[in-house]
Amino acid sequence: MMMLGGGESKSKDSNTIQCLTNQGFKSLCDITCTFLDVCGKMKDYKSPIVVMTVSNVFYTELKKSRRQFLADVIQKHQFWKKLSFWRAILKAAVMRKMLKNRYDDVYYSFIQGWLVENLHKMVMFNVDIKDLQVFVDEVMLRHNLPVRRKQEIQDFVDRMKMMHEALNQINK
């Protein structure tokens, strides 16, 4: 594994980040993309959660002291665009939480909080904004969210759409 290392570990808010050599970083990116391909074919939606989590740990130094993180590379992978992945991780989160009453305020708060956190990830990982809206509509319907919560979530999605459009204008 020396090929991947060669860089230095640095602390980032109590998380250790790892600088890799350019070749080590390229190898890690290739392996990770292949891993995501296999996960997609096997419909393994648990393992990529770990990839998403560590994607902001590994980086390489680019010119002018700029860093490129693994997340910057894998965000464009087709795997993240599969709504089946996002459905599966929501279902797993609900199951882990084991909420006793599926339709009380604690449950609704959990679903709303999960959506807000993961909608941001969906945008970061290049899920099409139209698919994001489909997913939100599906979750709100499936989990029978009250009107007030639906409106709060939709307001958040609308703000994300505006930010997405603004970023697209900047990047042109």
pLDDT > 70 in the chain, percent: 90
- Record the tokens describing residue 153, joined without a space: 């979530």
Count of C-beta atoms within a 10 Å radius of residue 27: 14
pLDDT at 24: 95
Amino acid (one-letter) located at 19: C
CA pair distance 65, 16, nearest whole angstrom: 19
Q: Which of 98, 140, 92, 100 is nearest to 116 (CA)?
A: 140
Distances (CA, A) of 129 to 80, 109, 116: 13, 23, 14
Report pTM. Answer: 0.77
pLDDT at 12: 47
Task: Decide the pairing of beta strands 58-61 and 15-20.
Answer: parallel
Question: What are the pLDDT digits (tens) for 31-82?
Answer: 999 999 999 999 999 999 999 989 999 999 998 789 999 999 999 999 999 9
- Record the tokens describing residue 59, joined without a space: 């980086």
Task: Please name the helix (run of DSSP H) or strand (run of DSSP E) that holds residue 84, with its range, or none.
Answer: helix 83-97
pLDDT higher at 98 or 85:
85
pLDDT at 4: 45
